[in-house]
């Protein structure tokens, strides 16, 4: 009999909880509070963990050996955006973290005029500097290989060459590659007057823009010969002076294996890799791209490599 009475009591209480509005409101409130506590706990977790993923921005600087070194954006977790991506599952997930980049206080633009030999050592990007004053017969194949592998390079063109080969210059521009200034007549720019330096730079800028519609922002002095006057005058024309940190020495006609060994043995974050439209470069380029990318580097234009933008916000980089 006691068991029957107990069972009836339980059924009555259950009926009351299900059908009584006040009871339903109470239960709903408890559920909502439980969800809110879980959500608040997730938000707190993201906020606490955010510091583990933070990367401080790196200021651009003048190095006594490498001269101008670009800065690099920092990273921080956008807690609100990350929370919105995780709240449905109500649990922390590293792959759903949302990052935002933080600008450094000092950028290349803040530094006095100085040559640039390489990018920021924490940026896993390299660039091809392709100086063009000859080698027309190799350019179509080089462009085809770059296109096949979705790689953008920086072609520094002699002004005199552009005037003689406008169709090739346009082909390079239309393929989406960066164009740069390689002087007009290919002189040793460290041994000419200030007025001649100015003429070589301005005349080349003008002919490139007239031919391709592109305004250049970079100067690669022929053979890497320059002095402070070259850098200063280039800066007055809003051009950064770039040299290189890895040289293929392709003009000496090494074997493809020698060229690959030479480059891959010296590759590094921020490498500026010098090459020309030669037969060995044409025959080595595909393998070079594949090997460089297999090492974890991105290949991009010089301007993109020198920018403060991080190529990846992967938490492991």
pLDDT digits (tens, 9 = 90+) for 57-94: 999 999 999 999 999 999 999 999 999 999 999 999 99
Burial class (CB in 10 A: 0-12, 13-18, 19+), 3: exposed
Say if residue 47 is in the same domain as residue 174: no
Q: What is the rounded distance in angstroms from the CA atom of residue 62 to the CA atom of residue 281?
A: 32
pLDDT band at 311 (very low <50, low <70, confident <90, very high): confident
Full domain range(s) for residue 217: 113-306
What is the average pLDDT across 147-174? Answer: 98
- In degrees, rounded to 5, the angle at the alpha carbon of residue 58 between the alpha carbons of residues 243 and 44 is 150
Residue 96 and residue 127 in one domain: no
Same domain assignment for residues 238 and 96 = no
Of 108 and 24, the structure prediction assigns the larger pLDDT to 108
For residue 251, what is the DSSP state? G
pLDDT, position 14: 52
Region of poorest pLDDT, from 138-142, 177-181, 191-195, 309-313:
309-313
pLDDT computed for residue 268 by the predictor: 98
* pLDDT computed for residue 27 by the predictor: 43
Residues 261-278 have a mean pLDDT of 98
Q: Compute the mean pLDDT over every residue in the chain, rounded to the nearest whole number.
A: 90
Q: Is residue 142 part of a domain?
A: yes
β-strand partners of 68? 62
Are both 150 and 130 inside the same structural domain? yes
């Amino acid at each position: 009999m006691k068991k029957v009475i107990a069972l009836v009591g339980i059924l009555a209480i259950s009926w009351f909880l299900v059908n009584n509005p006040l009871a339903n409101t109470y239960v709903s409130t408890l559920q909502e509070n439980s969800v809110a506590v879980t959500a608040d706990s997730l938000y707190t977790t993201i906020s606490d963990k955010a510091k583990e993923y933070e990367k401080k921005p790196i200021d651009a600087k003048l190095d006594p050996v490498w001269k101008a070194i670009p800065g690099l954006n920092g990273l921080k977790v956008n807690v609100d955006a990350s929370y919105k991506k995780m709240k449905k599952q109500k649990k922390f997930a590293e792959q759903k973290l949302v990052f935002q980049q933080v600008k450094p206080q000092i950028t290349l633009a803040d530094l006095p005029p100085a040559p640039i030999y390489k990018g920021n050592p924490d940026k896993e990007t390299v660039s091809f500097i392709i100086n063009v004053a000859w080698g027309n017969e190799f350019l179509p194949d080089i462009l085809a290989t770059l296109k096949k592998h979705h790689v953008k390079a920086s072609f520094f063109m002699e002004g005199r060459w552009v005037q003689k080969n406008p169709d090739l210059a346009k082909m390079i521009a239309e393929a989406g590659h960066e164009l740069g200034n390689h002087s007009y007549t290919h002189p040793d720019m460290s041994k000419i007057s200030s007025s001649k330096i100015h003429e070589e730079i301005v005349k080349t800028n003008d002919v490139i823009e007239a031919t391709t519609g592109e305004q250049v922002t970079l100067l690669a002095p022929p053979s890497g010969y320059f002095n402070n006057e070259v850098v200063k005058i280039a800066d007055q024309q809003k051009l950064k002076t770039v040299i290189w940190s890895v040289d293929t020495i392709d003009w000496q006609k090494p074997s493809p294996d020698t060229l690959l060994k030479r480059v891959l043995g010296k590759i590094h974050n921020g490498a500026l890799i010098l090459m020309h439209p030669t037969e060995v470069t044409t025959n080595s380029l595909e393998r070079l791209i594949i090997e460089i990318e297999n090492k974890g580097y991105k290949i991009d234009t010089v301007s993109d490599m020198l920018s403060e933008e991080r190529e990846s916000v992967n938490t492991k980089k």
